[in-house]
Amino acid sequence: MIERTVAEISTALASGDISSVELTQAYLHRIEQYNTDLNAFITVCEESALEQAKAADKSRSDGDCKPLLGVPLAHKDIFCTKGVTTTCGSRMLQNFVPPYDATVVEKFNAAGVVTLGKTNMDEFAMGSSNETSFFGVVKNPWDTARVPGGSSGGSAAAVAADLCAMATGTDTGGSIRQPAAFCGVTGFKPSYGRVSRWGMVAFASSLDQAGSICKSAEDAAMMLNAMAGLDEKDSTSIDKATVDYTATLNDSLEGLKIGIPIQHFAEGLSAEVEQNILDALKVYESLGATIKEIDLPNNHLSVSAYYVIAPAEASANLSRYDGVRYGYRCAEPVDLEDMYKRSRSEGFGEEVKRRIMVGTYALSAGFYDAYYRKAQKIRRLIRNDFLAAFKEVDIILGPTSPHTAFELGAKSDPVAMYLEDIYTIAVNLAGLPGISIPAGTVNGLPVGLQLVGEDFAEAKVFNAAHQFQKNTDWHRNKPDLTGMES
Ligand code: GLN
């Protein structure tokens, strides 16, 4: 049962084939077996999970039939969870126990899910490999010598290894889609504003977006049904009606216009990954879609613009960690300045400090116009490219990542790591919805296919992804975990 999709689990729970308690026990057992090696979870909430499962079974027998009732989930450790440590992958928040739940957590609780625990992640969501976590690297279940991708690598590895049925993630520049691609699972980032950011530890506020990591587009639609909506506690959440995202999953793709950005099929893309994406296009053509090349002429500037804007926002957001109110405080400070300095130097890891320095520099009086303002102008050009493309096509399709999962330690140069997000970052700069779905393998490692939609066209993205999954089995592929049990 644990290998099934959320939709299938939901049906099994409804028919009484399995109880939430049985299911929760199975996942907890699986976590016990495999988490030592994979390191996908930072915190496991065994006791409360079983209590929630019991309560869910009880509500069900009382007639409650919410679709996610009793389905076990894991939250990325960036979401504040009342009474449960929320580390954001950092020493700075190692002992931080929030007094409240993030809106996303509250909404999933209201949907009746069982929370199994909190998943590992790159420190403050900065990274593409899950190697920057204070709690150690996460390993890719397909090959433990390789990274799971980042920053939501714990969530992706946990879903891939069936340690949970579904997980939350956040995506600032690719952190849901890229790990989903590397781990052979489905990862969805909604349009900016669709899901509340309240209670999510802030990295780059104009880019951060909560989303889902799961086993199918149908599951992602079910998860968005639970997560989406206006939240008055987040002024950037949008006042726009949500729909039932599962309602149009089975619409025909006859006449769907798919755009292929020429820039995504250029130098740097692995030939084998490219072949998988071209094969996927054939599936779409057989379903009645038409294919058209499109131009995203400013895409090559996306990584540079992002690495000015995101660090700038991070430098402001992370100024709150001063050792005074909460978070890590150095031992025996001699004065206030010493406390600030040492708390931050000792509490933050290397990559986080690099971002704070870059961001502070980019925002400083002498360089603001040259870097920050210019990056914002480029951001607008990038968004305009997408808007122009969507005048001609309904969906944009391409690879999620230029290659499959790389080996642990392979990218020691920060710029090489930053270039990992070459196909995903522009989507965040433009605020659009995007999904990564498994679409093949290269040497036994999963390949991710990215679909991007117009502003708030989440339902259309799910529809296109679901139709592919109905006609292929890549999302059913499982890593072989033999020999990994502890
Ligand atoms: N890899 C990108 C970064 O390091 C994106 C991270 C994210 O989406 N949170 O900033």
Q: At 325, which helix (H) or strand (E)? A: none
Radius of gyration of the chain (CA): 21
Would 186 be classed as within a structural domain? yes
Would 362 be classed as within a structural domain? no
Q: Is the distance from the beta carbon of residue 311 to the nearest atom of ligand 1 less than 6 Å?
A: no
Q: Is the distance from the beta carbon of residue 208 to the nearest atom of ligand 1 less than 6 Å?
A: no
What is the pLDDT, as a whole number, of residue 292?
A: 98
Beta strand spans in 307-464 (E): 395-399, 434-442, 445-452
What is the pLDDT, as a whole number, of residue 197?
A: 98
What span, in angstroms and rounded, lies between the C-alpha atoms of 195 and 176?
Answer: 14
Pair type for strands 186-189 and 72-76: unpaired
Pair type for strands 395-399 and 445-452: antiparallel
Would 177 be classed as within a structural domain? yes
Find the 126 Cα to ligand 1 centroid distance in Å: 5
At 186 the three-state DSSP class reads strand
What is the pLDDT, as a whole number, of residue 88?
A: 98
Would 108 be classed as within a structural domain? yes
Would 408 be classed as within a structural domain? no
Structure tokens at 193: 């504003």
Q: How many structural domains is the chain composed of?
A: 1
155: CATH: 3.90.1300.10
Would 75 be classed as within a structural domain? yes
What is the pLDDT, as a whole number, of residue 486?
A: 81
166-170, strands of its sheet edge to edge: 41-44, 114-119, 72-76, 166-170, 210-214, 186-189, 434-442, 445-452, 395-399, 257-261, 290-294
Contact residues for 87 (Cβ-Cβ < 8 A; gap 6+):
42, 43, 77, 93, 94, 96, 118, 134, 135
At 403 the three-state DSSP class reads coil
Contact residues for 290 (Cβ-Cβ < 8 A; gap 6+):
255, 256, 257, 258
At 131 the three-state DSSP class reads coil
What is the mean pLDDT, run by run of 10 residues, along the chain of 486 residues?
97 98 98 98 98 98 97 98 98 97 98 98 98 98 98 98 98 98 98 98 98 98 98 96 97 98 94 98 98 97 98 97 94 96 97 98 93 97 98 98 97 93 97 98 98 98 98 97 87
Would 217 be classed as within a structural domain? yes
Q: Is the distance from the beta carbon of residue 125 to the nearest atom of ligand 1 less than 6 Å?
A: yes
Q: Is the distance from the beta carbon of residue 169 to the nearest atom of ligand 1 less than 6 Å?
A: no
What span, in angstroms and rounded, lies between the C-alpha atoms of 288 and 328?
Answer: 56
Find the 204 Cα to ligand 1 centroid distance in Å: 9
Would 285 be classed as within a structural domain? no
What is the pLDDT, as a whole number, of residue 294?
A: 98
User: Chain-centre distance of CA 429, in angstroms?
Assistant: 16
CA distance between the termini of the chain: 21
Ligand 1, atom 5, residue with closest C-alpha = 173
What span, in angstroms and rounded, lies between the C-alpha atoms of 98 and 198?
Answer: 13
What is the pLDDT, as a whole number, of residue 111?
A: 98
Find the 208 Cα to ligand 1 centroid distance in Å: 9
Structure tokens at 259: 């755009």
Active site residues: 76, 151, 175
Decide: 212 and 167 in contact? Cβ < 8 Å: yes
Q: List the domain range (segments joined by +) for residue 180.
A: 6-256+433-476
Q: Closest Cα to residue 175, out of 144, 213, 225?
A: 213
Decide: 151 and 121 in contact? Cβ < 8 Å: yes
